[in-house]
Amino acid sequence: MDVTESNFAAAVLDRSHSLPVVVDFWADWCAPCRQLGPVLEREASKRSGRLELVKLDVDANPTVSRTYGIQGIPAVKAFHKGRVVAEFVGAQPTAAVERFLDSLLPSEAELLAKSGDEESLRAALELEPGHAHAAIQLARILYRRGQDQEALEILGNVHGSFAADGLSARIRLERSGVPDLSRAFAALDAGDKEQALDVLIESITLARSSRDEIRRVVVGILDELGLDHPLATMSRGRLASALY
């Protein structure tokens, strides 16, 4: 599929939120491009339904080419959730193209995590104990069932996830009962993140020993909202004021 500047956003950036989109930046006069193109097409077709390949003529679409810093071609960039996640420049042998494309596909643990049921989540964590998405989902199931300790143990295997860290902090705070944050957690469970953040950030100014745990819960909520969410933007400033 050929893309242009007029449909790049929809065909690549938007589409990459559903599955990886690989863009082959090429030109008709480029001999290495003609060498690489058939290899990419053949290997992408073997992975049809799991990723998509599109081609963009750099001469006909100079603005997009400049935006993504194309200096040499062929240039191949893989997009996921609107961002470049992997790339290479120059013609590559088939084995290298295969490895590149396979690196974009979800692992077995990721596929199991998408199912969302307890059995699949446990299977995912057997494969990847630190898989954040699976761990958070399973920990929430266990937490709602009152199995707090097992939930904490599962979350303890996850590193670098603000959401997992925040859920762990919430469980510890509820177990200690100090301070009373039931109103904040009830709002959070009801989907009212704004009220939950209001109560939690207010509590930071009053808390002493629990300040860092409350901060972790707040940061976890902000992480789930996303960097550019208006509520997250506003709340980050309030959190900083409450802490410092």
By annotation, the residues acting in catalysis are 30, 33
Contacts of 52 (CB under 8 A, 6+ apart): 1, 15, 19, 20, 21, 22, 44
Distance between CA 36 and CA 244 in Å, rounded? 55
User: Are the CB atoms for 63 and 104 separated by under 8 Å?
Assistant: no
d(CA 127, CA 133): 13
| Cα–Cα distance list, 201 to 14, 166, 219 (Å) | 34, 14, 10
For the chain, the distance separating the N- and C-terminal CA atoms, rounded to the nearest angstrom, is: 53
